Amino acid sequence: MDRKPWIEQIEEIVGPDHILTSDMDRILYGYDASLAKGKADAVVLPGDTDEVSRVMALAHRERIPVIARGSGTNLSGGTVPARGGVVIHLSRMNRILEIDLPNRTATVEPGVITLDLQNRLLRDGFVYAPDPASQKVSTLGGNLGENSGGPHCLKYGVTTNHVLGAEVVLSDGTVMWTGGKTHDSAGYDLTGLLVGSEGTLGVVTCMILRILRAPEAVKTMLAVYDSIEDAGNTVSAVIAEGIVPATLEMMDRVVMQAVEASVQAGYPLDAAAVLIIELDGMVDGMERQAQKIQAICRRHHVREIRTARDDAERAKLWAGRKGAFGAITRLKPSYMVGDGTVPRTRLPGVLKRVLETGEKYGLLIGNVFHAGDGNLHPLILFDERVEGELERVKAASSEILKICAEAGGTISGEHGIGLEKLEEMHFVFSEGDLAVMRQVKKAFDPKGLLNPGKVVP
């Protein structure tokens, strides 16, 4: 492809300092946190909606693929330029535009780092609930693109439950708003459609987010088990009792051992699994609820329950959980993370089959996941330099997603489909279902230029 003419035109729109075209840059923007790789033709860093719109109108005219990118931490190949094209990196559009406490909204640009918004809101005693473990790095635009979850999404819901409105640039450069600050909006729920669409329907340039009062009190417990099955059964028993903790996270021995070598969170190295159970809300009644949960844990043979005595102990427990994906690379240089979801009552049985799948393929699997949501994250550990290992990893990963689908679950809880799970879409959708999705895509993007090759096989 002769890239010169349109690269010069993009330079005129964003300025020569905000377009990257060196071979190194194009390779660097060719991958994300998944195993997939591609190569961009150019990387553009627009400064505002108008520049995004003009770049996209140009790409539309010239039939150039467009890939929106936040921090590139997605785990499914969502920002890999599978067919080349222009990567629109939104890192310069990183302003918190408004905090509207009476209406409980925050209006932000897509490049704002998730934790930066959290920290800003805490100053006023408010929070933005979705808290992916990657929040120190991930952007709110990327969270929207993937419909991200996080430990606290058990009680508060995932990203889609917190996006009230969005400014979006369509494939031909048209700018439109969906939703807004009011509670509900007329017509089709286009905001709902955009959230989780992985940049395949439009590029979001501004978002109105729901914010919540920070809880009055928090209590964090670590429940230690000698059997994964007992830990899994505790999860459904807690929810069945009518208690919805803020978080209900599980971690197995493989992950705990890697975490302890890295963060020293105080996890017991000889236990089979732990649950991190956090309650939040009013002080009144919290102790009673904690006692109820502890009784359920005991009914399921918990070995020990520890309660964080202060913020420092609580932070330590969470540092271990949030650093788990990074820590696991102490065991093997690479990992592939799964993201299947199952009805939580099926967790113990499915976990057993996940470990059996690891044994079948001769691969070590660690588990750290949002157990309360039934959202599994098996970390399949491997070394890409060992011949044939990557192929076994991919086969095992696909088989695990099949197990989840057969258990009445699905193939993605929060990490999206991207490039890596296209084939697995057939596990949960019929040809008819996929045909409807293709029609939706076509209505938004008739030329098929927005993040092509993703989401729908």
Residues that bind ligand FAD (CB under 6 A): 32-33, 67-75, 78-79, 90, 110, 132-134, 138-139, 141-143, 145-146, 148-150, 198-199, 203-204, 325, 414-415, 451
Cβ at position 402, least distance to ligand FAD in Å: 22
CA distance 335 to 329: 7
Cβ at position 140, least distance to ligand FAD in Å: 8
* Secondary structure (DSSP) of 266-315: ---TT-SEEEEEEEEE-STTHHHHHHHHHHHHHHTT-SEEEE--SHHHHH
The three-state secondary structure class of 68 is strand
Q: Which is nearer to ligand FAD, 30 or 145 (CB)?
A: 145
- In the block, residue with structure tokens 């999860």: 235
CA distance 363 to 368: 16
Cβ at position 214, least distance to ligand FAD in Å: 20
Question: Which two structure tokens, joined as six digits, stand for 455?
Answer: 């989401």
Q: Which is nearer to ligand FAD, 118 or 134 (CB)?
A: 134
Q: Which is nearer to ligand FAD, 19 or 133 (CB)?
A: 133
The three-state secondary structure class of 65 is coil
CB 193 within 8 A of CB 147: no
Cβ at position 203, least distance to ligand FAD in Å: 5
Cβ at position 294, least distance to ligand FAD in Å: 26
Q: Which is nearer to ligand FAD, 318 or 427 (CB)?
A: 318
CA distance 72 to 182: 31
CA distances for 285 relative to 238, 246, 281, 288, angstroms: 16, 15, 9, 5
CA distance 134 to 417: 18
**The 3-state secondary structure of 162-222, one letter per residue:** CEEEEEEECCCCCEEEEECCCCCCCCCCHHHHHCCCCCCCCEEEEEEEECEECCCEEEEEE
Q: Which is nearer to ligand FAD, 136 or 426 (CB)?
A: 136
Cβ at position 364, least distance to ligand FAD in Å: 18
Cβ at position 44, least distance to ligand FAD in Å: 13
Question: Which two structure tokens, joined as six digits, stand for 105?
Answer: 């909204």
Q: Which is nearer to ligand FAD, 389 or 414 (CB)?
A: 414
Q: Which is nearer to ligand FAD, 99 or 166 (CB)?
A: 166
